[in-house]
Structure 1
Amino acid sequence: MMGDITLIGALLAGLVGSTHCLGMCGGIASALGMGVAPERRTPWRLFGYALAYNAGRVTSYAVAGAIAGGVGLWLASLISLGAWTSGLRVAMGLVMAAIGVQVAFNWRLLAPLERSGMRVWARIAPLARGLMPVRSPGKALLLGGLWGWLPCGLVYGMLVAAALAGGAADGAAVMVAFGLGTMPAMVLTGTAAAVTGRLLARGRVRLALGMTILAMGVWTASVPIYSGLNALYCAPA
């Protein structure tokens, strides 16, 4: 059921949403490798730590996406409605549209979803803090894997899309695309990240990308609606 347009929308949401990621995870990302002796703290070593941390973060997104997609498919199997697939596509389009509006206008439409995850994060946070300071890429990978569960409305919105994607593999693919979109700003620490963040924070850039995601969502939702109306009004009497 999932198409390329969904993956492109997820990638764009991650790219623009990375400014939000910098605010929530930027402090941890910039502190990676600070536990390493100063004489060994080379730019390439710090880049490797950042890459490992973000690989762990995207992996946690993929796991969450697979779970959401699997649960969504299981729920679909319990409801034997002929219009189920069309209904899922409409719902996915509406979620994408909401994400587009949030990105374009910085409206916190998904804040209630963010608050819902605080109880889970309260149990994970002590484990994440136990990995600090990070002294190896392996620890950075594990820290990213735990930090990926930090409550975030944009992530939860994408998880809703993943749940509607049609299965575990498709749900994981949606979240990987989203995670890859956040990678440039998160991996390029320091000045490069600041420049990337400022670029993506510009009103016109956010508006253009947000409206693109919104258009993709409207298109995704409108196709099954149009097909249903066409079948209804063009059916032989």
Structure 2
Amino acid sequence: MSGFVSFVSSGPGDPELLTLKAVDRLQKADAVLFDDLSSGPILGHARDGADMIGVGKRAGRPSPQQSHVSKLLVEYAQTGQRVVRLKSGDSGIFGRLEEELTALRAAGIPYEIIPGVTSASAAAAAAGIPLTRRETARRVQFLTGADVTGELPEGMHMQTLADPNATTVVFMGKRTFPKLAERLMAAGLPGDTPALLAESVGHPEQDITRSTLTELARKLSQSTGSGPAIIIYGPLAE
């Protein structure tokens, strides 16, 4: 008998930002496979006695291969258990969700996806800014600052990313932001464009640094720190 998998989006880490549906699934789970950024107080909502399996991937640290995570997910579900795959932020945004869905579909295992608060929205809220504004920021764009090797992805459309009338949110981009900023300025984005760094959003050590494209690139070229971060640049990132 096949089990069932719930992909639960945990938001940025603050348990108060969990949806009611997310809490319900955690309380009913037989097994929880969780990311590093979904650990801590959020796991306190899991059912007593549930198997807790850490499968998080962090840059610069030993991490399980994605194929291994997908295999574990299938194996737990094939025992007939109710499985929660707990992902940080919103699971559909840079969370490698599709690879895990593909594995479940191939094994014939049913699933559901429970959306959550994306780290982009949480970072903007923590900074006290909106992501859009009439006339001057009518578009929001998300990009990842790292490919599978940890480097800045190739083939990015710099003219789009250098649009001065868009709000751009960079996920997993602290290490590669200096290179990205250089390319953005070469594409015409002014160096004094507002930029902010939101670190450890939703956690007690949360920190917001307001800067400019040039200054933030300089800061991150000297030190990136160890905490997770979101970078926002554009007219609203003041």
Q: TM-score, normalised by structure 1?
A: 0.24
Q: TM-score, normalised by structure 2?
A: 0.24
More helix by share: 1
Q: Which structure has more RCO (C-alpha within 8 Å, separation ≥ 6)?
A: 1
More strand by share: 2
